[in-house]
Amino acid sequence: MDNWLPTLMTATPTEGFELAIKLSRMTIKSTQPDAAVRDRLRPDYAEDAGSLIAVSQVVATNFATIAAANGHWRGS
């Protein structure tokens, strides 16, 4: 795997949120490397409110980590 995450530093909170989403997606890709399996499973969770909430929680956790690494965008 290439070095797709050279830093957690971002210029803005929006960039940080985008990085949180990418980090979350890469976690799934690393956990289930078979794209066909991911594609086959997507309909199962795409319409499951609990699964969508769980995804939001993972992204929120990743965003909190990135925000902390950025000093909450240099405010602290």
- Contact between 66 and 20 under an 8 Å Cβ cutoff? The reply is yes
Per-domain boundaries in the chain: 13-74
The pTM of the full predicted model, rounded to 2 decimals, is 0.86
What digits encode the pLDDT tens for the residues 3-55? 889 999 999 999 999 999 999 999 999 999 999 999 999 999 999 999 999 99
pLDDT at residue 76 above 80? no
Give the model's pLDDT for residue 75: 67
Which residue type occupies 15? E
pLDDT tens readout for residues 60-74: 999 999 999 999 776
State residue 15's pLDDT score: 97
The C-alpha atoms of residue 58 and residue 22 are separated, in whole angstroms, by 11
